[in-house]
Structure 1
Amino acid sequence: MNPNVADTYLMLNPRDQWRKENGTIISKERLGELMRKALLDQVPGQNILVTQPIQMRFNEIMAGARADPVCKVFGDCYDELERLAGEVRTAIASICGGGETEFDSIGKNPMIEIQPDRKAMCKFNVHADELNRLVETALAGKEVGTFIEGNRRSSIVVRLAEDRRTDLEGMKRLALRTEDGGMLALGPVAKIVLVPQPVQIAREDTQRRVSILISVRGRDTEGFVEEATNFIRETVTFPDGYYFEFGGQFKNLQKAKARLLIVVPLALALIYVLIFLSFGSLRQATLIFMCVPLAVTGGIFALHLRAMPFTISAAVGFIALSGIAVLNGIMLISFINQLRGEGRELREAVVEGTLTRLRPKLITALVASLGFLPMALATGAGAEVQRPIATVVIGGILTSTFLTLLVVPVLYDWIERKTKPRINAL
């Protein structure tokens, strides 16, 4: 293949952004498509899986697979596993976003197999140890001495030459010693054949498995895995004792989501308790806590606007956003309580407190939004982690700022008029 074929399509600038020759920045997904097209034009019929070396090695170390999601087929018979893996791969490739698939070390290589004939060995009085010793010396090699050169010692190993190691007829004529001291050719007492054997037999939980590496493009991993699971169950029939499951980094995603289902409610409950202890009022604590859903709606809308899936990075952004929204609510409600404690009427305290705190809230929102803006627009290394966090925080702060200034004061005025005033200013 022409080594300069990729140069006709792309070049790399110092900021680690791929550009076309006219200088237009293109995405990594588009880059993968161009590289794949360039390679297939030169070497057609290949399966190309585009990834990054460091990411691939981390996936292999942490999840045992070189791709984010991997479909594992388990069973006993290797031939049946290969057949099922082929059907599963065809099913996955037909799903939107699953066009890039690759087998993980599947296939067979021809290997020399020497099968002893027990009856012939008894007839010619040949011991099994002698046969094993001959095969080991001929193919693996056997140390017969030491070569001394000054202070260096090197082992002398004897074995068949490379061209004779693949000559099956020549191996049948190897001399074999019998128990009574005679000599016999290897052919009469052993069958030497060339048989296909698996390249690698992978095991997991004491069971054989075959893996299909998947590079999901243009959609979220969780949605793809759910659709692929249902489609495989409908189209592929698994015999008894054979089954499949998705693993890789997708498993880590599931574990992280399970942890978040515990951590996030506990964190929100702790925030609510702290607010109640500060204000000593359930209604005001609930009112301040309403800033959280007001902010979350903006984060969800921002993710939808940028066509980003929900990830663990986005979940971390929602947690940070909840804290910022609660602080803004505390700042507003505590100042209104302070004005009422000074003797102001309810409506007057609500209007003046909202207008007075307008500028601090806008400054807080602008500082946080502008601070996260470079992360939201990042395209370099780590951008896939930075963008969801920044997008959620920016979108949530914008909606939280305006909705808090509109909704919370109105609800405060309405709730306090319905109940007996109880002021506990900070």
Structure 2
Amino acid sequence: NKLGVSGNLMSLGALDFGLIVDGAVIIVENSLRRLAERQHHEGRLLTLSERLAETREAAREMISPTVYGQAIILLVYAPLLTFTGVEGKTFSPMAITVMLALAGAFILSLTFIPAMIALLIRGKVAEKEVAAVRWTKSRYEPLLRKVVDRPLPVIVASIGIFLAAAVTFNFLGREFTPQLDEKDMAIQALRIPSTSLEQSLRMQRRIERQIATFPEVAFVYSKTGTAEVASDPMPPNAADSFVILKPKEEWPNKKETKAELIGRIENKLEGLTGNAYEFSQPIQMRFNELIAGVRGDVAIKVYGDDLEAMTRTAEEIAGVLRTVKGAADVKVEQTSGFPTLDVQLDRDAIGRFGLTVEEVADTLAVAMGGREAGLVFQGDRRFDVTVRLPDASRNDLDAVGALPVMLPERAGGGPRASVPLRDVAKFSYSEGLNQVSRENGKRRVVVQANVRGADLGSFVGEAQEKIGQQVTLPTGSWLVWGGQFENLKAAQARLGLVVPLCFLLIFGLLFMALGGVAPAAAVFSAIPLALAGGVFALALRGIPFSVSAAVGFIALSGVAVLNGLVMMTAIRQRLVTGLPLKDAIINGAMERLRPVMMTGLVASLGFVPMALASGTGAEVQRPLATVVIGGLITATALTLFVLPAICRFVLRKAERQQAAAPQI
């Protein structure tokens, strides 16, 4: 509450309990090991003071890797706080929640947890291992010895895995945020600009009746034109239909997807002539409109001065867009088509009749546009009364031409004569401008499209290539790409600046924890291989890269470094006792096998519900969880195999220094 973060899907969903207990797992595992060793050494049960002393020492042993590891995990979430706009509103609550939870868990793991172990574990402590751990150790030890004996092939293989992941990443799709399934549909119907409100309502009712025939539809309602309170202004020829669907369990074909249902509805509505449709979702439609001023996923804005040339260019772009895989609901902003009455005044005839241009124009304006003739009161409400020709007469050129234009009064008095309007003017109907949109002081025509069956990044990439090859812009015109793609580029640019800085700070913390560049680089190597696992997991599940997946990569790097830091600390502790490097690596790795496996499994299992969820909002969490689970698999493998192999090279200097030190 103090930080203004509400309890929502992202803030509460970020509480991965596996990640929160990682620090406690390391402390508990080390405390139990020390209690068992001390009890075995004393040959009796330990007193409370002895148990407290052992748990205190266990916490002290692990305080360095735990403090730096938790600091690194907190640090990797810092880039999320730099997000602005939509991505900031989405992911900043998550970062704040995780950082607060991790800070609280860290304090408890070094204070409350050791005290509880000493107070609650009173009986005989035996460091028993379950069958799964014994089996894992029996398989791990011979593999570890082979890795330590021949470290180079393992290091080369890990580099190959990272390069393969880099290639795979280039083939992943791109999107700003995963598209949420709102369980409902929004359909915009657009008619020609000359469509009246009454005609538009009749056409909209036919659309509603057709949609209501689908058994999957619970009900449908529409909004046509602009409401009295014009919070969402639309012309009379446009209408929004909101289609509320039944729960999936009530559908006749429960295996049918929403996209397939949209396809069937679209095919049926094509039989109703005079309408152009755009299919979206209620929130998504408003979301796109707020981001880029258009309702489609992608907007191509043509800027310039010559509106006719810009419109022709926009039509060419729309034609090219329709050939791109995934393009749907492609349409060009309606700049023309509005019915216009053109009047050409005959100034010679006006002069012969003794009239002025103003008098003729005033007669025409009263007949066509109307003139205020009084007021009508209804309670406290007041309405202007306007008099004009009926619609049938205003749309009839003969009736308009027969309008009388009063001549000037005669000098001798008598009734005033009149001449028909056709004697002093010529009339014709034409299609005029419907609207002229401007942005930043320049005329603009928008081509918009939705993306279905393809990811946003790939769609835009292919569209940009084709439009660049097939469309020639007129002189003085230029294109600007907008929509969700614009937000994706902005988020990528921000991450490209902040994430390298964050990684540099992580390396600095590792250097402070380990006291050297080589061991810090060895532990830091966990990050590339962890990222590789996340990339492979996205590719296997067919999930495009998005801001949500990027958040998963950020979270993953912290957990990967924590396990590597614990392993490196254990190996260096054994090296200090005088063990040869090979034995120190094997003993340290075997001792830390259990906590490394536990932290990896616990953190992964904490994300499994998010990865498999199918409820509302699961689309945002699924890429994040998939990245973390896949990355933890490769990160754990690196910690258990690649890191010991790297230690054979980076700790040689430490071994020589230890051997040269005087023995006491």
The question of a shared fold, defined as TM-score above 0.5 by the shorter chain, is answered with yes
Change (3 A) 1:28 1:354: farther
**Residues 1:36 and 2:266 aligned together:** yes
Letter of the structure 2 residue corresponding to residue 321 of structure 1: L
Matches within 5 A, 1:308-387: 308-387=543-622
Letter of the structure 1 residue corresponding to residue 587 of structure 2: E
Q: Report deviation, 1:411.
A: 1.0
**Residues 1:402 and 2:637 aligned together:** yes
| Matched residue SS, 1:212 | strand
The equivalent residue for 2:30 is none
**Residues 1:7 and 2:7 aligned together:** no
| Matched residue SS, 2:626 | helix
State whether residues 18 and 31 of structure 1, in contact with CA within 8 Å, keep that contact through their aligned partners in structure 2. Answer: no
Q: Matched residues in 1 for 2:434 and 2:305: separation?
A: 16
Change (3 A) 1:119 1:50: same
Change (3 A) 1:411 1:130: same
Deviations 1:304-353 (A, max 9, x none): 11122222222121111111111222222223333434554433332222
State whether residues 581 and 655 of structure 2, in contact with CA within 8 Å, keep that contact through their aligned partners in structure 1. Answer: no
The equivalent residue for 2:313 is 84
Q: Matched residues in 1 for 2:595 and 2:355: separation?
A: 96
| Matched residue SS, 1:195 | strand
Q: Report deviation, 1:406.
A: 0.6
Q: Matched residues in 2 for 1:44 and 1:147: separation?
A: 40
Q: Matched residues in 2 for 1:313 and 1:271: separation?
A: 22
State whether residues 309 and 474 of structure 2, in contact with CA within 8 Å, keep that contact through their aligned partners in structure 1. Answer: no
The equivalent residue for 2:433 is 198
Letter of the structure 2 residue corresponding to residue 56 of structure 1: M
Structure 1 window deviating more from structure 2 (316-325 vs 295-304): it is 316-325
State whether residues 5 and 38 of structure 1, in contact with CA within 8 Å, keep that contact through their aligned partners in structure 2. Answer: no
Q: Report deviation, 1:303.
A: 1.2
| Matched residue SS, 1:7 | coil
Q: Matched residues in 2 for 1:203 and 1:151: separation?
A: 39
Letter of the structure 2 residue corresponding to residue 66 of structure 1: R
| Matched residue SS, 2:302 | strand
**Residues 1:57 and 2:286 aligned together:** yes
Q: Percent identity?
A: 40
Question: What are structure 2's unaligned runs of at least 5 residues?
Answer: 1-208, 219-243, 411-415, 659-664
| Matched residue SS, 1:21 | coil
Q: Matched residues in 2 for 1:9 and 1:44: separation?
A: 22
**Residues 1:96 and 2:325 aligned together:** yes
Q: Matched residues in 2 for 1:97 and 1:156: separation?
A: 52
**Residues 1:167 and 2:396 aligned together:** yes
Change (3 A) 1:238 1:328: same
Structure 1 window deviating more from structure 2 (361-370 vs 250-259): it is 361-370
Q: Matched residues in 2 for 1:409 and 1:372: separation?
A: 28
Question: What are structure 1's unaligned runs of at least 5 residues?
Answer: none
Change (3 A) 1:365 1:37: farther
Q: Report deviation, 1:162.
A: 2.5
**Structure of higher CA gyration radius:** 2
Q: Matched residues in 2 for 1:60 and 1:282: separation?
A: 50
State whether residues 12 and 19 of structure 1, in contact with CA within 8 Å, keep that contact through their aligned partners in structure 2. Answer: no
The equivalent residue for 1:115 is 344
Q: Report deviation, 1:8.
A: 7.2
State whether residues 337 and 433 of structure 2, in contact with CA within 8 Å, keep that contact through their aligned partners in structure 1. Answer: yes
The equivalent residue for 1:411 is 646
| Matched residue SS, 2:497 | helix
Q: Matched residues in 1 for 2:591 and 2:261: separation?
A: 51
- Selected match of 1:21 from 252, 260, 283: 252
Q: Matched residues in 1 for 2:385 and 2:253: separation?
A: 62
The equivalent residue for 2:135 is none
Q: Matched residues in 1 for 2:434 and 2:212: separation?
A: 33
Aligned length in residues: 419
Q: TM-score scaled by structure 2?
A: 0.57
| Matched residue SS, 1:352 | helix
Runs of 4+ in 1 over 6 A off after TM superposition: 8-11
| Matched residue SS, 1:316 | helix
Structure 1 window deviating more from structure 2 (255-264 vs 289-298): it is 255-264
**Residues 1:305 and 2:540 aligned together:** yes
Change (3 A) 1:137 1:12: closer
The equivalent residue for 1:146 is 375
**Residues 1:237 and 2:472 aligned together:** yes
**Aligned-residue CA RMSD (Å):** 3.1
Deviations 1:335-387 (A, max 9, x none): 33334345544333322222222222222222222222232233344333222
Deviations 1:383-421 (A, max 9, x none): 332222111111111111112211112211332124566
Q: Matched residues in 2 for 1:367 and 1:308: separation?
A: 24
